[in-house]
Chain A
Amino acid sequence: METTSNSSVFLLTVNGQIEGANFPDYDNLYCKYCYVYGHDWAPTTGLEEGITQITSKSSQSHKLIWNFPLETTFKSTNPSGWPQLVVSVYGPDVFGNDVVRGYGATHIPFTPGQHIRTIPMFVPEPTWRLQKFTGWLLGRRPEYTDPKVVAHGEGREVTRVRSQGFVTISFHIMTKDMKRMGYDTGPTNSSTVQSATSSQSRDAQ
């Protein structure tokens, strides 16, 4: 039996928000995001990158909230190179310089439905103590020249990092024509909370 497919292209619609962050040691942070995807993918609508507002902790809560909207649609012929959301968080240090507080990346979920991702954020670390001290003093910390490098696997084996916070992102995913092309992406999520930190979260299917 032959699967009939009129289309060789499928669409992925991402509606979501960068909810906020959890950084115990830092305050007054803003976030930059961008998408990284393979050669077969192209965004059709929506913004590919953006910057959030600067947020601070309030007296009631230690959470940092951005509530920043993400609305993008991608088209592709092949699930390889599935888009990833790369997030980088910046904030002021003691002297007022703008330094990076964390980089992180996550794949956009592919089962339709709601997903919540809590991604760990890490910064590159200088290798020796003197460099750490002068970096703190002068505000010149190591950062990646291109944040998109955290979405790739190559070349990471020589980097030393320190993880120091988390960013929470929620997604609502829709796909079009993936089933028609023969792809099975598993059961649809009705309402699942998946967190990278809690070990006791399990699917409610």
Chain B
Amino acid sequence: MAELHIIGQIIGASGFPQNSLFCKWGVHTGGAWRLLSGLKEGQTQVDNPQTGDMAYWSHPIDLHYATKGLQGWPKIYLQVWHQDSFGRCQLYGYGYCHVPSSPGHHRISCVTWRPLGSWQEQLAQMFVGGGPQLRNPDLIYSGADRYRLHTETMGTVELELGIIMRHFDKYGVES
């Protein structure tokens, strides 16, 4: 069995309308993958930066997978939320990116989007916040049924992922 280590951090996010942000993240894999150690989902702290635009989380990721096949390569999916000074949370974006498939250190910028409602909902969102959310979070990383959505662009999330691969060359995989 080949093994994959994902060792890195969700560094932070920038480009969102407000700065007090946190992120719910998870890793989705296909059926041939088995998680040997590490947490495959979590939620970061809420950061309110003093200077600058970028909110920093420095949330560590340390996952160890064993796999029998290449299908269902791991994907990281993210939900960026905003928490205001009263403690209310509002969705600011969904995004996903594939875990890199070559060993070494990688710096990834993951783009995010938010579902757009009707013009009445957008007007209400401008005043009281809130807004439509996905009922099924699988849509963040799957392409099926995406054509029904109308979305708007939001900011980017920076990740630093280090990949260690073991025994992939024994099975003839080039990466």
Contacts and interface: CB of A to CB of B under 8 A. Distances in A.
Interface stretch (B55-63, B113-121, B139-147): B55-63
A156 B166 contact: no
A196 B50 contact: no
B47 A161 contact: yes
A121 B102 CA distance: 30
Q: Is the contact region of chain B dominated by helix, strand, or loop, or is it mixed?
A: strand
B105 interface: yes
A107 interface: yes
Contact of B37 (A80, A107, A199): A80
B7 interface: yes
Contact of A182 (B44, B109, B167): B167
A162 B49 contact: yes
B4 to A, nearest CB: 10
Contact of B103 (A120, A181, A186, A196): A186
A186 to B, nearest CB: 2
Contacts of B109: 199
Contacts of B55: 163
A21 to B, nearest CB: 14
Nearest to A129: B85
Q: How large is the interface on A (under 10, 10 to 19, 20 to 34, 35 or more residues)?
A: 35 or more
A196 B104 CA distance: 16
Contact of B60 (A84, A159, A194): A84
B98 interface: no
Contacts of B38: 80
Interface residues of B, number: 49
A184 B170 CA distance: 12
B45 interface: yes
Interface stretch (A27-35, A51-59, A62-70, A145-153): A145-153
B9 A106 contact: yes
B45 A157 contact: yes
B97 interface: no
B165 A183 contact: yes
Interface in B71-93: 83, 87
B102 A186 contact: yes
Interface in A158-205: 159-164, 181-187, 194, 196-197, 199, 201-203
Contact of A152 (B46, B60, B105, B163): B60
Nearest to A152: B60
Nearest to B22: A157
Contacts of A135: none
Given A160-B45, A161-B46, A196-B56, 13 more contacts: A81-B37, A106-B58, A109-B162, A150-B58, A153-B59, A153-B60, A162-B49, A162-B50, A163-B55, A184-B165, A185-B164, A186-B102, A203-B105
7 contacts: A78-B64, A110-B162, A154-B42, A156-B42, A163-B47, A183-B166, A184-B168
Q: 10 shortest A-B CB distances, which residue pairs?
A: A186-B104, A157-B43, A120-B56, A186-B103, A164-B50, A163-B56, A80-B64, A159-B45, A156-B45, A184-B103
Interface of B: 5, 7-9, 11-12, 22, 36-39, 42-51, 54-56, 58-62, 64, 83, 87, 102-105, 107, 109, 158, 160, 162-170
